[in-house]
A and B are shown apart, each in its own frame.
Chain A
Amino acid sequence: MIELRHVKKSFGEKTIIKDVSAVMQGGKCNLIIGSSGSGKTVLMKCLIGLFTPDSGDILYDDRQFITMSDDERKEVRKEIGMLFQGSALFDSLNVERNVMFPLDMFTNDSYKAKRRKVDEVLARVNLEKANKKFPAEISGGMKKRVALARAIVLQPKYLFCDEPNSGLDPQTSMVIDKLIHDITDENKITTVINTHDMNSVMEIGDNIIYMHQGEKEWEGNNKEIIFSKNDKLNTFIFASEFLRDAKDMRMLEVTGKIDNDRNMDELINNPDASPFIDGNKQ
């Protein structure tokens, strides 16, 4: 579990994070969502220690992260795995060496043992027969999977994913989401995902924190988010006509009514109004 208490962060005159408190639950996928510039990346960088908050506390299983010494922080970081937006694979190393790197650095295992671990994690992310390829030779989805394999090879307690689906097609995004969710579940990792992909929110959002202009605007899970009455959240999530239709249809299905002023009868009776409803009618 990771706890944030009254975290604030400014750059010069501009306050990016304004007094955010939240709990990232252990063994669950904790999503930080929000529009561009809402402060979610800065919040994640504060969490992993790339930025130091101006005030507030960050606790990793009750261990004070901000005030701890460099050596203590190093120890905590060995328990952290991170999947970067651009994968951040080492260009000069092949896939196998990239995944093996944390093992080389932090274990005294034999090459054979390390190789076995690498093969295991690569198999876990469904990436076999790519060991000798270099990052420049593999696709974006494969890079993400290699980066995920590298992040989990030391069996971390905390997994951070910065925009894991950016630049990926919807199908590959779902594969990555499912992998992250399954790995979190299997190993009881505290996973924190920074995203604005609505599929991810609905599929794997065990705990969702919505950031708006540097403040935590809403917190809940993927079951509750669809019924949220928070206007800012609804504007952010259901930005398109398609998603608004999807939400209303879901509400109609679950509660038998919708709680906005849209005329659903007209929507349902007009097949051209929405491709989503048209699809449902068939």
Chain B
Amino acid sequence: MFMKFFNGVGRYFLLLKGMFKRPENWKVYWKEFMHQCSDIGIGSLGIVVIISFFIGAVSAVQTAYQLVSPLIPKSSISQIVRDTVILEFAPTLVCIVLAGVVGSKIASELGNMRVSEQIDALEIMGINTKAYLVMPKIVAAFLVIPMLVIIASALGILGGQIAAVASGIVSSEDFHKGLLSNFVPYNVFFALVKAYTFSFIISSIPAYFGYYVQGGSLEIGRSSTRSVVVSCILILIADYVLSALLL
């Protein structure tokens, strides 16, 4: 059990190490990178928009529900919505969803390529498959996931505002006032640090599970599920560690 775990960790790091070789053809790698950016970024935009908008809306309504004291100004609702969305909901929750959407896609894509000997075919052509198949995915995730997190933060706050104003909890002016008061730019930096860390987890862990899959279609499904579970757990652990270290 322990040996299997350490063997897996070792192979994961060897996979990462194997990526850092000179590409055979920069143009082909660039094309693959752009393809992955589109796949990961544009492909996940819809779900990110929906989730972040409703998370913001729900957090506004629930914050208002808990702040019943007349001593607390209404504008503090938007402050709480802003900070929870930027600090936690946008980076963590969105990345957990992306671990499912993007992670399972990466694992099953690579797993299918492994099982159908497409990876072997690339190897025999003399192509470094770790670099060609894994690196563009990780770099693309590194670029687009923080962008998605920024979009999610904005939409979450927008969702909160629409829900709060529409349900008469707080006026539009009060909401804006709260948004602008006590804003800590460091929170955005912290959210981006989390986004970069999670994007690495979301792309590299499923790539590992997919790249080393053995067997048939059943194993592809299993490794895809396992990759999502492991990614989610690692995201939560990293979330705690980063919060403890940086806040």
Contact = CB atoms under 8 A, between A and B. Distances in A.
Interface of A: 48-50, 73-78, 80, 82, 84-86, 88-91, 101-102, 104-106, 160
A88 B118 contact: yes
A78 B117 contact: no
A88 B121 contact: yes
Interface string B94-137: 00000000000000000010001110110111111000000000
15 contacts: A49-B123, A73-B126, A75-B126, A76-B126, A77-B124, A78-B126, A80-B124, A85-B117, A86-B117, A89-B118, A91-B116, A101-B125, A104-B25, A104-B28, A105-B127
B25 A105 contact: yes
Given A91-B112, A105-B28, A50 B123 contact: yes
B176 to A, nearest CB: 47
Contacts of A74: 126, 128
Given A77-B125, A91-B112, A106 B25 contact: yes
B121 A77 contact: no
B64 to A, nearest CB: 48
Nearest to A102: B125
B212 to A, nearest CB: 14
Interface residues of B, number: 16
Nearest to B23: A105
B125 to A, nearest CB: 6
A89 B112 CA distance: 12
Interface centre among B27, B117, B120, B125 (most CB of A within 10 A): B125
A76 B28 CA distance: 21
A84 B121 contact: yes
Contacts of A75: 126
Contacts of B117: 84-86, 88
B120 A88 contact: yes
B37 to A, nearest CB: 16
Contacts of B25: 104-106
A50 B121 CA distance: 10
Given A104-B25, A106-B25, A88 B116 contact: yes
B124 A82 contact: yes
Given A73-B126, A82-B121, 20 more contacts: A49-B124, A50-B120, A50-B123, A74-B126, A74-B128, A77-B125, A80-B124, A82-B124, A88-B117, A88-B118, A88-B120, A88-B121, A90-B118, A91-B116, A91-B118, A104-B28, A105-B25, A105-B28, A105-B125, A106-B126
